[in-house]
Amino acid sequence: MRSVRRALRLDRERRWNSEYAAGGWDWLRNIDERAHHSVLAGYAAYLKPGGSLLDVGCGEGVFQEELRGAAGRYVGVDFEQPIQRAQHKANATTRFVVGDMNEFVVDERFDVIVFNESIYYLHDTLAGVQRYESMLAPDGVLLISMHGKERNDALWTALDARYTTLDRVTITNVRDVRWTVKAMVPPGSTFRMAPQAP
Task: Count other C-beta atoms under 10 Å from residue 148's C-beta.
Answer: 15
> Is the separation of the CB atoms in 166 and 193 below 8 Å?
yes
Q: 77-130: per-residue pLDDT in tens?
A: 998 888 888 899 899 999 999 999 999 999 999 999 999 999 998 999 999 999
Q: How is domain 2-185 classified at the CATH fold level?
A: Rossmann fold (3.40.50)
Domain ranges of the chain: 2-185
**Band of pLDDT at residue 4, cut at 50, 70 and 90:** very low
How much is the pTM?
0.87
